Amino acid sequence: MENGKRIVRPRDGRKVAGVCAAFANFFGLDVSIIRIVWLLALLLAGTGLLAYLICWLVIPEEGR
């Protein structure tokens, strides 16, 4: 069942591509928390950059 909520990259409030802002809006969290988690994934696990790039390509931009 679909609840009508979609993950989209917003046009406002983004730093690079809006991926962190998209996740923050979807989960109702502060965007700073998402950015810190993403940075930790990049530094500790090394998968953060690849995941960010994939999300940038897959998540549609707001208004499309």
**Residue 26 vs residues 45, 46, 63: alpha-carbon distances, Å:** 24, 24, 15
Tell me if the pTM is above 0.85: no
DSSP letter for each residue of 20-61: HHHHHHHHT--HHHHHHHHHHIIIIIS-HHHHHHHHHHHSPB
Instruction: Dump pLDDT digits (tens) for 4-62.
Output: 788 889 888 778 888 999 999 999 999 999 999 888 888 887 788 888 899 999 999 98
Q: What is the per-residue pLDDT for 23?
A: 92
Residue 1 has pLDDT above 60, yes or no: no
